[in-house]
């Protein structure tokens, strides 16, 4: 990995420019480099095994800039103090989940697919960011757990958001198939409990996969297909329906 140039901040001109770059742009670039370093180090070494010094060395950002960009602060609810590293982890967590949420929001199902294929496509859309880059899976599903009450509150909200997004996508797909015995709505009338259980189960399956040696894992296609079949059964639909 190429280490960015040292984070010099002297020799600015009267307009606040340094080598033609504004302070805002420099801070944005430093923030991006620190977030990239956090993904690399938290996603490989682990959050608790990573020091601020290691983050600064990986990113090429000075410790002074680190604390400027990610200061220790009170949580959004004002009930606890977050360290600088916890602030960085929380922002990384938000960004990685936004990537998944955006993918689900813009989800389109290829024409001519079977119901099972369409369901696999939904599951793949939600999980491939983490399956293709397991650093993201580790940060989201392992390293972010139990760090702070603020992050735990975000995790619970994220679970509800993902459950609603997956549930909505699944119902949209089911609505275009004529299934024996189906009703006008295939979303379980349980206040979202089924979808929460599905998302929670998928999360645990993903954690188990990350912790399983590569040689002992099922293929990615088999993993996604298995999850899709479980999701269909949870909605009362046979995986062979709508073929």
Please tell me the total number of residues recorded for the chain in this structure: 243
Q: Is residue 78 part of a domain?
A: no
Residues 91 and 200 in one domain: yes
Mean pLDDT along residues 162-168:
81
Residues 64 and 145 in one domain: no
Cross-strand partners of 21: 18
> Is the separation of the CB atoms in 96 and 88 below 8 Å?
no
Residues 24 and 58 in one domain: yes
Residues 117 and 14 in one domain: no
Residues 161 and 209 in one domain: yes
Residues 14 and 103 in one domain: no
Specify the CATH number for the domain of residue 132. Answer: 1.10.357.10
How many domains is the chain partitioned into structurally?
A: 2
From CA 158, how far away is CA 164, in angstroms rounded? Answer: 10
Give the pLDDT score at 223: 96
Tens of pLDDT, residue by residue over 100-158, are 888 888 888 888 888 899 889 989 999 999 999 999 999 999 999 999 998 999 999 98
Structural domain ending residue among the three candidates 69, 95, 117: 69
Residues 50 and 101 in one domain: no
Residues 16 and 52 in one domain: yes
Its pTM stands at 0.81
> Is 92 buried (19+), middle (13-18) or exposed (0-12) by CB count in 10 A?
buried
Structural domain ending residue among the three candidates 40, 69, 98: 69
From CA 187, how far away is CA 184, in angstroms rounded? Answer: 9
From CA 38, how far away is CA 47, in angstroms rounded? Answer: 8
pLDDT band at 243 (very low <50, low <70, confident <90, very high): low
Q: Is residue 80 part of a domain?
A: no
Q: Is residue 190 part of a domain?
A: yes
Q: Where are the beta strands (DSSP E) in 15-120?
A: 73-74, 81-82
Residues 109 and 204 in one domain: yes
Q: Is residue 164 part of a domain?
A: yes
Tens of pLDDT, residue by residue over 37-77, are 999 999 999 999 999 999 999 999 999 999 999 999 877 66
Q: Is residue 241 part of a domain?
A: no
Map residue 21 onto helix, strand or coil.
Answer: strand
Contacts of 52 (CB under 8 A, 6+ apart): 63, 66, 84, 85
Range of the domain at 144: 85-234
Residues 162 and 55 in one domain: no
From CA 177, how far away is CA 166, in angstroms rounded? Answer: 17
Q: Is residue 223 part of a domain?
A: yes
């Amino acid at each position: 990995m190429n280490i960015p140039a040292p984070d010099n901040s002297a020799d600015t001109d009267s307009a606040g420019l340094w080598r033609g770059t504004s302070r805002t742009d420099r801070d944005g670039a430093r923030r991006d480099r620190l977030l990239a370093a956090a993904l690399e180090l938290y996603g490989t070494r682990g959050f608790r095994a990573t020091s601020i010094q290691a983050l600064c060395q990986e990113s090429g950002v000075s410790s002074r800039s680190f604390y400027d960009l990610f200061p220790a602060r009170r949580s959004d609810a004002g009930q606890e103090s977050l360290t600088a590293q916890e602030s960085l982890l929380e922002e990384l967590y938000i960004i990685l989940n936004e990537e998944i949420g955006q993918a689900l929001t813009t989800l389109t199902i290829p024409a001519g697919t079977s119901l099972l294929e369409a369901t696999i496509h939904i599951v793949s859309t939600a999980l491939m960011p983490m399956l293709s880059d397991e650093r993201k899976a580790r940060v989201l599903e392992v390293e972010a757990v139990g760090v702070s009450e603020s992050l735990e509150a975000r995790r619970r909200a994220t679970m509800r958001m993902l459950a609603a997004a997956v549930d909505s996508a699944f119902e949209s797909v089911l609505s275009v198939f004529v299934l024996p015995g189906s009703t006008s709505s295939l979303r379980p009338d349980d206040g979202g409990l089924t979808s929460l259980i599905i998302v929670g189960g998928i999360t645990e399956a993903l954690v188990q996969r990350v912790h399983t040696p590569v040689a002992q894992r099922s293929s990615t296609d088999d993993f996604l297909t298995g999850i899709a079949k479980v999701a269909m059964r949870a909605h009362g639909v046979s995986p062979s329906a709508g073929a």
